[in-house]
Each structure stands twice: as structure tokens, then as C-alpha cells.
Structure 1
Amino acid sequence: MTSTKRRWRAARLLGPVALVLATLVPAAALPAAAGQASPPAPIIPNFWDPARRIERPPAGSIPGIRFATVDDFPPFSFIGPDGQPTGFNVDLARAICVELMIACTIQVRPYDGLADAVAAKRVDAALAGIAITPESRRMLAFSDVYLRSPARFVARRGAEPAAVSPAALAGRTVAVRAGTAHEAYLAALFPTVKRLALADDAAVRTALREQKADLLFGDGVQLSFWLQSEAAGACCGFVGGPYLEQRFFGEGFAIALPKDATALRTGIDAALDALYDRGTFAELYLRYFPVGFF
């Protein structure tokens, strides 16, 4: 399926995070602006219904899980210094296996063809940013959503708007990457802002830093890494949001499974719910996303 990569992997927009990871410095190393308050503690996203109780499948019904992931999707999955796969998705898969008390393997595969491998049961599950769409649902089942990538506004420190709403931002210049869902969202829901549509993320961020724009609007995950990088230099911070409208930004991250893997899906959903309740999900989120994007 040669076109799967382009059609389904909306999350590939996170690829530029790899460039940011190389320039990260500890937050404490960045100079704080005079009189600037400490940033608030990151919000841990929660996509689970606290009233729902999932009955786990009987012991032995899931003998093990063959997880598949990719090696070019940091910080979700990449190859670590020891040559082994690591990242948020990889550690989440391992935590699921510990929670279910089963043996698992994690293999790296090329993204192209990964959906076919899951559908044909050459692997049991994939954590690789396969987008949840009507087309992918015809081929695959999905676990509960465990993470979403919201859109966020960013403003220069000291120049934050008093409020963030279509009325409050009317007439303000907002830099955004041209041709993206973020530009479409601004056009639809913030029609009174002046959109400064630019060719790439670097140009968008430069426009904000050089005061050619009052704010920028883009992917929260990418922006969280930029905000903690040397390139940003503690210039800016999130304001407003998060914005999660599915028709623009998708349903989020879930584990792709074979269509008829009912017991496996139930077990994984039960494990995800338990990992959130135990605080394991929060620990992983803060490990890989120290500047939260919610």
C-alpha cells in the first residue's frame, strides 16, 4: 500500500521535532525574564472516562503482544544511544505489557506497509501514529485514544494578549504555516485575525520573534519542543487553548490492531486506563514532554 504513508500519517508533521531534540537545554539553563513567574506545572491530558470500568479478558487469552513501531518519529519512537528503540510510544508499549503481566516484543518496521502488516496479523499491534480515519477504520481496529496533538497559540513573553478568543484577537497578526490544518482552522474560527501564512515552521517562528506577528499558531507538540530549545531562547510561551477540533486536527494517537482482535483491544484499553490511574502515564508524559502542550 504505497499511498498509506501520505493518506494516514497526519502525525508525520511531528517529524521536525527531531531537529529540535538536538538543541534542547534544561529549562533551568534558560534565562528567565525579569520578574517572570515560574511556569505552571504541565497539565496531564486525560482521555479516559473515570466512570467506565473495563473487565479484563481472562488470563491466558492474550499470550503476548508483538508490537511494531518505527524509528523515525521522535519523541514517540526512535533509536536510542544503545541502538534499541525508545520513546514515548515504546515505553508505553512496555508499560502495557507489565500491566497485563505478559511477554511482549517490540520490532521496528518501515512505516510504509505497517498498516498492512497489522491487518494481516504479521504483528499484533502498532504504535506509529497511524491516523484514525474512516478509511483506516475499514482496515484496522484501534484502542482508546491515549494522546492528542492540540493546536496552540504562542506569544512573546511580555506581549501576551489579555484574552484569546476571536473577538479578542481581531486585527492581530497571526503567523501560521501555509496550507496546513492550522491555517484552515484560523480561517474558519478566527476569521478576524490577520493571517500571515508562511512557507515553513522556521519562518513562522522567526516572524513571531522578530515582531512581524503578534502570535503564531501551530502544532502543540512541535511548539513544546521549540519553546524549550536554545533557538527559542525563552522568548515565548503558550497562550489560550488547547484546540482539539477533530475535523481539523484528527482523533489523536491510538494503537492500531487487527479488526477482529477483540480480547487484545479490551486488554490494551484496560491497561491504558490502569496506567493513567496509577500515574504511570503521567510519568511517561512528563519524561518525554517536559514542557506540556496542554
Structure 2
Amino acid sequence: MLRLSIHTILRGTLVASGMGSFLGATSLQVAAQDRTPMRVAVEGAFPPFNYVDVNSKLQGFDIDIANALCEVGKFECQFIIEKWDDMIPNLVGGKYDAIISSMSMSLERRQKVAFTEKYYSSPSVFIVRKDSSINDVSPAALSDKNLGLTSSTVQESFANNLYPEMKKTVFRSSPELYNGLADGSVDVILEDKLAIYDWMANTKAGSCCEFQGPDLLDVTYFGEGAGIALRLDDKERLTRLNEALKSIKADGTYDMINAKYFPFSIQ
């Protein structure tokens, strides 16, 4: 674990010393009062960034970063698993306070929510099966192919605008998208490069496939990296999260989390 919560530390100390429940409750109440509540939305279906493990616990790069930011920024954080399509509307509506779920900071999204500084960067890329004849990913070359995309992503927006005539199959989640490529339901997919790296490098199913074409970095569609989304008027929380992000990058915490998931820097 990256951190041991202050509640766990205090609880363990009080139990070990045999002190009464009154003192324990008082100490925990003081600790909670020192921290700002923050409800954090995550998708839980985007490994290795965020996913639910076999023990029904949230894991992944986003989760570890969120925990580190909550510790340094003195937030009392609660994770809420949310459907990707509902995240921004429900953030704006007040269901939670932040989205820490690998959300690209596109220009379209910036009109609806505020973002922190980026906490990682990743290009998008086309992926095909290794036995595919596709070696050109221009709109003309792919005009008769079936392109797989994940719903409500920057990749879907990019493809709808730059590949308007191409047949498209939209999947509800990234794991379903990957399966669609592996089983031949689609000819090619467009996905975040870091997200699919784990599937391609570390799973038997992913060994079927390879990157095709250049990295796609158009900021109009893909933004300037992944950031934490907040309501537009939540300026104090934005400042505190930016300061916490700067802190975990300076003290080595960020690098430790990075190395846990990737053999290269993703800053």
C-alpha cells in the first residue's frame, strides 16, 4: 500500500495502549475535522489505471495517485464507481467533487469542468491484429474497415470528426473494445496508448495485436494530458490539488507509483 490512513494509525495506537473508546472517538473526530471531505469518481474499468480486483477493491495508477494526493492535500477521500458517460454531468450536478479517472483534458471538456495540471500524458494510437493487412491508417485507407471505439471518449470524438465515413462499432468499456479486436468483431481500434499497453504486453489475448501508424497528439481532441476534473467554481480545491500534485512529484512519490505500473516515465 502506498499509504496508511491517519484513521488506521490512530485506531491502532489507541487499541494497543488500551485507552478508552471516548478518547479514541475524540481523536478520530479531530483527525476527520482536519481534513476536507472529497468524493472522487472513478470508472473502475480502465486497467491499469483504475479497475476492481478479484477482491472487489479498487486498484490502479489513478487510485494510487488519488490516495497520495488525498494524503498530502489533507482530503478525506471517498471513491465512487461511476459509469464513464455519467461522470461529467454528475460532477457538475454535485454527486461528487472530483474525477480522477484518466480523463483527457480536451477543449470540449474544458467548457464544462475545470482541470488541474496534468498528472500524466499519453498519446492515442490505432491498433490492429498482427495478421491484419492494414498498414495505412489514413481515412481513405480505412474507408472500408470497421473501427472499434469506446463510448464517450476523446478517441470517439476524433474518429467521428476525422473519419466520418468509416463504419464504427462503439463499445461500453475498454475491456470490451479489446475483446472486439481480438475476436475479429472489428478490424482496427483507436485507444489510449498507455491504457492498452498493459493488455498488449501482459496478457495472452493482447499478444494478438500491435500498434499501427503514428502517435496521435492533436490537443484539439486529446487535450494536453490527463487531469483531475472539478466543478468550474471549485477554485480552492483546484489550488490544493495542484499543490499536492506538485508535492508528490517533488518528493518521489509520483515516480514510485509510475514505476509500479510502467517501465518508463509517463509524466
TM-score, length of structure 1 as denominator length: 0.52
Contact 1:224 1:292 in 2 (8 A): no
Indicate the residue corresponding to 1:106 in structure 2.
78
Structure 2 counterpart SS, 1:105:
strand
Report the Cα offset of residue 268 of structure 1. Answer: 1.0
- The Cα offsets for residues 242-278 of structure 1, whole Å up to 9 and x where unpaired, read as 3211234344422121222222212211222232333
Indicate the residue corresponding to 1:152 in structure 2.
125
CA distance in 2: counterparts of 1:236 and 1:284, whole angstroms: 27
CA distance in 1: counterparts of 2:93 and 2:42, whole angstroms: 18
Indicate the residue corresponding to 2:46 in structure 1.
74
Indicate the residue corresponding to 1:267 in structure 2.
240
Bigger drift between 113-122 and 89-98 goes to 113-122
Structure 2 counterpart SS, 1:128:
strand
CA distance in 2: counterparts of 1:73 and 1:155, whole angstroms: 22
One-letter amino acid of the structure 2 residue matched with residue 243 of structure 1: L
Q: Given the superposition, is the C-alpha separation of residues 183 and 225 from structure 1 closer, same or farther in structure 2, using an over 3 Å criterion?
A: same
Unmatched runs of 5 consecutive residues or more in structure 1: 1-61, 158-163, 189-195, 208-212
**Which runs of structure 2 are paired with 1:61-100 in the superposition (5 Å)?**
63-75=35-47, 76-100=49-73
Does 1:118 pair with 2:77? no
Does 1:256 pair with 2:226? no
Indicate the residue corresponding to 2:205 in structure 1.
231
CA distance in 2: counterparts of 1:120 and 1:235, whole angstroms: 42
Q: Given the superposition, is the C-alpha separation of residues 142 and 206 from structure 1 closer, same or farther in structure 2, using an over 3 Å criterion?
A: same
The two structures, once aligned, show a CA RMSD in angstroms of: 4.7
- The Cα offsets for residues 18-71 of structure 1, whole Å up to 9 and x where unpaired, read as xxxxxxxxxxxxxxxxxxxxxxxxxxxxxxxxxxxxxxxxxxxx9424132235
Indicate the residue corresponding to 1:18 in structure 2.
none
Report the Cα offset of residue 143 of structure 1. Answer: 0.9
Matched residue count: 217
Contact 1:224 1:291 in 2 (8 A): no
Q: Given the superposition, is the C-alpha separation of residues 242 and 97 from structure 1 closer, same or farther in structure 2, using an over 3 Å criterion?
A: same
CA distance in 1: counterparts of 2:129 and 2:95, whole angstroms: 49
CA distance in 1: counterparts of 2:50 and 2:95, whole angstroms: 20
Report the Cα offset of residue 83 of structure 1. Answer: 3.5
CA distance in 2: counterparts of 1:177 and 1:292, whole angstroms: 30
Looking at secondary structure, tell me which structure has more helix per residue: 2
Contact 1:225 1:291 in 2 (8 A): no
TM-score, length of structure 2 as denominator length: 0.57
CA distance in 2: counterparts of 1:154 and 1:131, whole angstroms: 19
CA distance in 2: counterparts of 1:197 and 1:90, whole angstroms: 35
Indicate the residue corresponding to 2:29 in structure 1.
none
Contact 2:45 2:52 in 1 (8 A): no
Return the match for 2:147 from 177, 187, 191: 177
Indicate the residue corresponding to 2:101 in structure 1.
128
Q: Given the superposition, is the C-alpha separation of residues 184 and 197 from structure 1 closer, same or farther in structure 2, using an over 3 Å criterion?
A: same
Looking at secondary structure, tell me which structure has more strand per residue: 2
CA distance in 1: counterparts of 2:196 and 2:61, whole angstroms: 17
Q: Given the superposition, is the C-alpha separation of residues 182 and 174 from structure 1 closer, same or farther in structure 2, using an over 3 Å criterion?
A: farther
Report the Cα offset of residue 104 of structure 1. Answer: 1.8
CA distance in 2: counterparts of 1:151 and 1:133, whole angstroms: 13
One-letter amino acid of the structure 2 residue matched with residue 87 of structure 1: G
Unmatched runs of 5 consecutive residues or more in structure 2: 1-33, 131-135, 150-155, 171-176
Q: Given the superposition, is the C-alpha separation of residues 154 and 282 from structure 1 closer, same or farther in structure 2, using an over 3 Å criterion?
A: farther
